[in-house]
Amino acid sequence: MKKHFLQLWCLVFWLYAVPLHAATFDHEHGLLDILLKKHVIMSADKTSSRVDYQALAKDRGLMKAYLSAISSVSQEEFDRWNRKEQLAFLINAYNAYTLDLVVRHYPVKSVRNIGSFFRKTWSIRFADLLGQKRTLDEIEHGMIRKKGVYNEPRVHAALVFAAVGSPALRNEVYTAEKLDGQLAQAMSLFLSDRARNRFDGRLGRFHVSPLFRWKGDDFKAKFGSLGNLFITYAGALALSEDDVAAIKKEGTIIEFENFDWSLNDR
């Protein structure tokens, strides 16, 4: 606790003592990391998580400080970073703005209740990023998923919709240095969650999250097919050697489960 308190004051002092135009962006995303460690509760097996939004709301000043830091990054500065720095930045920005959107409308039963019939939650233009006010859809589809840029489908296990059905929000930030390992682990943990992803060997059938239908093009572009993706993560899905051999020979049936849009509130 004392360590986190000291880290918090050092970061806040740095943020306000150094002019934004002269500061170097913190690629460790320290302010957000403190918030996630304080307010994200991981399940015992780390396949899911909940957020204490009520407590997070009391740390709104710290969240504002982090959002101010990321919003101060210009397109020119962003373009000078390497791709891992850029992608980690965009993942953290997406998740932070999602948390902030929920807190500003809390209490809500579902993140979808924040929007309206005419303007869905992900179409609300509120996120200051790289010199423009953007929607969550623009950050995900226009930046993170933009073809020919990152080509990284594992991000879909890292981006969080503030819903019970979405992959776990980690209680740590994504960083360039750890990004490959973090994305691999996030995908593995998501596929390890039997409540959302499982294989029925008797029927040769997968029952998986609709996330794999919604983002299917990204996974197929990288792995060739969803079957190949699942074979790649055979350990997470507890596939036996016989299962893998049968899938390779005969293909497989994939059924998409329902998505639980309930707020991932503590």
Band (4; pLDDT cuts 50, 70, 90): low
Mean pLDDT computed over 68-97: 98
Band (251; pLDDT cuts 50, 70, 90): confident
Mean pLDDT computed over 243-258: 92
Residue-wise pLDDT tens digits, 172-212: 999 999 999 999 999 999 999 999 999 998 888 999 999 99
Question: What one-character-per-residue DSSP string does the chain give?
Answer: -HHHHHHHHHHHHHHHHS-TTTPPP-TT-HHHHHHHHHHEEE-TTSS-EEE-HHHHHHTHHHHHHHHHHHHT--HHHHHHS-HHHHHHHHHHHHHHHHHHHHHHH-S-SBGGGGS-SSS-GGG---EEETTEEE-HHIIIIIIIS-TTT---GGGGGT---SBTTSPPPPSS---TTTHHHHHHHHHHHHHH-TTT-EEETTTTEEEE-THHHHTHHHHHHHHSSHHHHHHHTTTTTT--HHHHHHHHHH--EEEEPPP--BB-B-
Counting residues of the chain whose pLDDT is more than 70, the rounded percentage is: 91
pTM of the full structure: 0.90
pLDDT at 16: 47
pLDDT > 50? residue 20: no
pLDDT > 50? residue 14: no
pLDDT at 117: 77
